[in-house]
A and B are shown apart, each in its own frame.
Chain A
Amino acid sequence: MTDPRLKAADLPDIQTSTEADGMAQGLSAEEYARAVEICGRAPNLLELGIFSVMWSEHCSYKSSKKWLRQFPTEAPWVILGPGENAGAVAIGDGLAACFKMESHNHPSFIEPYQGAATGVGGILRDVFTMGARPVAILNALRFGDPEHAKTRHLVDGVVRGIGGYGNCVGVPTVGGECEFDASYNGNPLVNAMAVGIAPANRIFTAKAEGAGNPVVYVGAKTGRDGIHGATMASTTFDDEAEQQRPTVQVGDPFTEKLLIEACLELMATDAIVAIQDMGAAGLTSSSFEMASKGGLGVELALDRVPMRETGMRPYEIMLSESQERMLMVLKPGEEGVAEAIFRKWELDFAVIGKLSESGRMVLTWDGDTVADVPIPPLADESPEYDRPWVETTPPAALDQASLPPLGDWQSVLSKLLGSPNGSSKRWIWRQYDHSVMGDSMVVNGVGPGGDSALVRIHGTARALALTSDCTPRYCQANPFEGGKQAVAEAYRNLIAVGAKPLAITDNLNFGSPERPEIMGQFVGCTQGMAEACEALDFPVVSGNVSLYNETNGQAIMPTPVVGGLGVLDDLSQAVSVAYPESGLELVLIGEGHGHLGCSAYLRDVLGRTGADAGPPPPVNLNREKRNGDCVRVLIGKGLVAACHDLSDGGLLVAAAEMALASDIGCDLRVAGLTAGVLFSEDQGRYLIATAHAGAVLSAAYAANVPAGKVGLTGGDALTLNGTRPISLQHLRDTHEGWLPAYADGDA
């Protein structure tokens, strides 16, 4: 067979670039000029490709980093904050949890199955790259209006993609969220979070050390898929978006599973100096980051890279985003040990280069140099923008007195529980293997679908609590309060199962940062998040920014998703949303003000959204902390039989969800059957069921936390002040009915 490989001299890659080439690859004129200055000459097309991806918004965070610096990132339990593949926190027993969330929005819109699947694959690699065995996956999904022509197809493809990947690699998908809103019509959000566990003293990083050490490529072969994916993720879409399908990567979860096992097996030896997965911008970004972090240079012989296709060029090899690949620096002489392990798992293994002291990235092709760029200036002088922004104008106060009277609370409750956003998401999580690995906890019959997922830390009596949260309509009305609320809700969901909240990862999804009003949303949300993280002692340890989520100038609602992680020291103390028995008293913790602005009630029942929906409920962070501490202590003392935070739909929806989770009814006893009492989304509140109401109330009083009895569990219906029972069977049919019918094309 003749090798169709081009000789170095014949490669188009080595032609000198022009400014027009730079623009075509997404660089501004100033950025191109800076690239020329750094190289001391016009870069060739291969080098230009490296600049283009390294300075893309996706890889460089050039519009966001100024604002990311304000996040608190430290706490005594934080082992690694932002900057590595994932954040790491100490979780007891000498173990660390490594976790991160990442978006795969653009690819999922173009090709939902592969886009979502490779999103899961990528975030898993971020975690096991650090030496952590992945133990849980979550996902935060946002789709367009259910009536929009593409939504049903996207829901189906994304859910199958996540399941197809996660189920095969054998990591349980334990939680997440799913929302529908017309602002996501042209830009669904697929955010995946992975959590892994590693020995705290054996966490691997990307920092290369030791000039001369071998650089090794392992995993799957490199193909032509996903070339320039990072650049695609850094622009807005138009109607032609689907023509970008070739930039979407194709995943193979079977190879990922082998890669997990092979990497963890090698990590148990002493062979690895540094390791980095090939994610966005593939071999370019992984080799660059390793060398840059170590203050070293790197030489790569690109002809040695295992290739899936013949005739590939260096440019394609450097920019491919083929999946399931890793780059490692090994200790000298350890190549044999490493190769044996990867061969055993039937994966590719190739020594493709070595570290150098030159501080340069030198790429060769059959011995000829085809690229030579200095690393520190390219990394350190990557652009940073202080983009112009305007503060979001807060909406006018809502005149609640002018709202129509509540009317029949039963039909309002049915409407909320049966709406696209309020309905059960069981249809989704039933397609995910959530019980593999034998550590996914079920508390009083509740597995997925509770406030936080609980995953036992294998071989210990502890459990991780995991959640993902964001209320985009709050963020749109008031980015600062919405940012605070996203963090506070994650905190609350961890508390509600009895866990101590430790840290968050975030996935900041916004429109184009080049529009001042969008940048204003970004600034407001991140400021609010920073303030909440500070006040709640709940630092940010990793995250991802996804900008340019807009199509034809139509931006998504600001969606800063927060992935929260907490730990429960004694898993037997966990509680869930399900009432374990009849005859328990219901106690409402926290203060209600009857705030209806931005509520699900306004949206789903009165049809009021946007400027007509008023301001979101404010978050009082001091009270949030105080209420949360109080509830956590109560759960720790065994005084709480069930607990649910109040969120969308307020008190009545919370009580109904608890009843549905247990198949035990309840009677709520409240004064004044108003929309404000039943459906307000005032923050910092929990509904608990308890057999020890006296002790709960006095503990709350002592902690200066508002608390009051609001009812009793029992029966097979939900009643208000003993009247007008609405049967659980009816509520269940309503709550469970919408999504399966929709997915089948019947709703």
Chain B
Amino acid sequence: MSLRAGVVVFPGSNCDRDGAVALAMVAGRKPHMIWHQDTELPPLDLIFLPGGFSYGDYLRCGAIAAHSPVMREVVAAANKGIAVLGVCNGFHLLTESGLLPGALIRNAGLKFVCRSVDLRVERTDSPYAGRYSKDQVLSVPVAHGDGNYIADPDTLAKLEDEDRIAFRYCAPDGSSSEATNPNGSALNIAGIYNETGRVLGMMPHPERAVEPALGSSDGLALFQSIAEVLA
């Protein structure tokens, strides 16, 4: 069976089409586009929360969208074990709605950063990373003003202990340091999992790295893995 994916569209989402294109490439069919006011979800294997500026990012990134009707359904689905991938603004939504711990604040450099970054794969036993090898280095773009991941020391320790850090910002050789951190994130965190590994939030945009013409296809394997594992 091919992957049943849904892409949630909020007012101000702007990576919904990009996510849908990437998912269609691996699923062989178009994902459902889900409107933010929907109160019921179709049967899905994966929910994609796209990047953008949901509700204009007014108040705080993702804060208003987290209270939209559809997010109640997304949270309920995630709690039932449906996989949820939140990218960029979608990652904000996951922290704002409590599906992932911590928060994302203004970049340490105080400026919007759009560039290609190197990511080290920290863990491969998830529905998203099965096609990667541990410590593999991926080249994927970031484009955000608020990607600086913070959490209290206990939470950070827990994330490390439970092996829930998905990707870290690193150098091309895989080493990570302050110099390879584009936004000041704690522990160079670029993405984290929930306890089950089925909810993933990440700031970099794998959907913008699915073809050589775009500069990198390192993000494609993430979507291929989803299609393989979740379908």
Contact = CB atoms under 8 A, between A and B. Distances in A.
B219 to A, nearest CB: 10
A170 B114 contact: no
B43 interface: no
A9 B208 CA distance: 60
Interface string B178-208: 0000000000000000000000000001011
B17 A346 contact: no
Given A167-B143, A254-B12, A456-B213, A434 B56 contact: no
A411 B51 CA distance: 45
A697 interface: no
A442 B17 contact: no
A577 B111 CA distance: 28
A168 B207 contact: no
A346 to B, nearest CB: 6
B215 A442 contact: yes
A508 B53 CA distance: 34
B52 A440 contact: no
Nearest to A133: B17
Interface residues of B, number: 31
A429 B114 CA distance: 8
Nearest to A445: B215
Contacts of B205: 435
A170 B213 contact: no
Interface in A557-599: 571-572
Given A258-B12, A436-B15, A163 B112 contact: yes
B207 A435 contact: no
Interface residues of A, number: 34
A430 interface: yes
Contacts of A572: 213
Closest 9 CB pairs of A and B: A170-B14, A442-B215, A254-B56, A438-B18, A433-B143, A168-B53, A435-B141, A431-B112, A433-B114
Contact of B14 (A160, A164, A436, A442): A436
Contacts of B143: 167, 433-436
Interface in B1-46: 11-12, 14-15, 17-18, 21-22
A703 interface: no
Contacts of A436: 14-15, 18, 51, 143, 208
Nearest to A257: B12
Nearest to B16: A170
Contact of A438 (B111, B112, B214): B214
Nearest to A446: B215
Most buried by B among A254, A258, A440: A254
Nearest to A427: B111
Given A436-B18, A438-B18, A571-B213, 17 more contacts: A163-B112, A167-B114, A168-B14, A168-B57, A170-B15, A252-B56, A253-B53, A253-B56, A254-B56, A429-B114, A430-B115, A431-B114, A432-B114, A433-B114, A433-B143, A435-B141, A441-B215
Nearest to A163: B112
Contact of A258 (B11, B210, B213, B216): B11
Interface string A412-436: 0000000000000000011111111
Contacts of B58: 254
Nearest to B143: A433
B113 interface: yes
24 contacts: A164-B112, A167-B112, A167-B114, A167-B143, A170-B15, A170-B53, A252-B56, A253-B53, A253-B56, A254-B56, A254-B57, A255-B56, A431-B112, A434-B114, A435-B141, A435-B214, A436-B18, A437-B14, A437-B17, A437-B18, A438-B18, A438-B214, A439-B214, A440-B214
